[in-house]
Amino acid sequence: MSTILKATPRERLLRAAADLFYREGITATGVERLCRAAGVSKRSMYQLFETKDELVAESLALFGADVLADYLPGEAAGLTPRERIVHVFERLEALAGDPAFRGCPFVGTATELKDPAHPAALVARARKQELTDFFARQAALGGADDPETLASQLTIVFDGLAARAVVRGSGVGGLAVTTASVLLDAGGLRAG
């Protein structure tokens, strides 16, 4: 029996939502299309989620953890704090080169929804903060002069690179690690 058949209707809806919202857009994905992709009736969907907004927020919260994990280095990798930060930008360089890359899903969700108080915009903000917190921890460990500011600047560069890939449709052109490195050098982060 395949994994998809064992997944519950709720899981199938969350997975189809995360996939379609990222690939085609949140507003562009109607409830009918979503239910068809998940193999769930509209009636069942509305028994599981009161509104589409609730589904948008919950799917982003659930799959957002996977998105973040895809960029972070493993604990066992034996890297220095600076190398751990650089790893995130190496991953972005690789992932943004995929023709299916549509930018950061958290920024994309906030951008499309327009409303900073939307439940999914709150999820986006919290998830994005997790990346900044990761940068801040590594920056502090690596002896940065001002870990919090450096972490915010690295997040800005990360999001700007993702925007570049979306606008140009052709990756980030080798600029990820080089641009982050300018900030790491200026911020006093040790190589070792």
Nearer Cβ to a second copy (77/126): 126
Tell me the torsion sign for CA atoms 125, 155, 107, 100: negative
Contact pick of 8, 23, 54, 145 for a second copy (by CB under 8 A): 23
Residue 183 binds a second copy (CB under 8 A): yes
Binding-site residue total for a second copy (CB under 8 A)? 47
Q: State the nearest-atom distance from the C-beta of 56 to a second copy, in Å.
A: 13
CA distances from 164 to 77, 106, 137, 152, 175 (A): 29, 16, 27, 18, 10
CA distance 93 to 95: 6
CA distance 27 to 41: 19
The interaxial angle of helices 119-141 and 81-96, nearest 10 deg, is 140
Nearer Cβ to a second copy (7/163): 163
Residue 67 binds a second copy (CB under 8 A): no
Point out which span in 10-18, 50-58, 59-67, 120-128 binds a second copy (CB under 8 A). Answer: 120-128
CB 34 within 8 A of CB 22: no
Binding stretches for a second copy (CB under 8 A): 23-25, 27-28, 102-104, 106-108, 110-114, 116-117, 121, 124-125, 128, 149, 152-153, 155-164, 166-169, 173, 175, 178-179, 182-183, 185-186
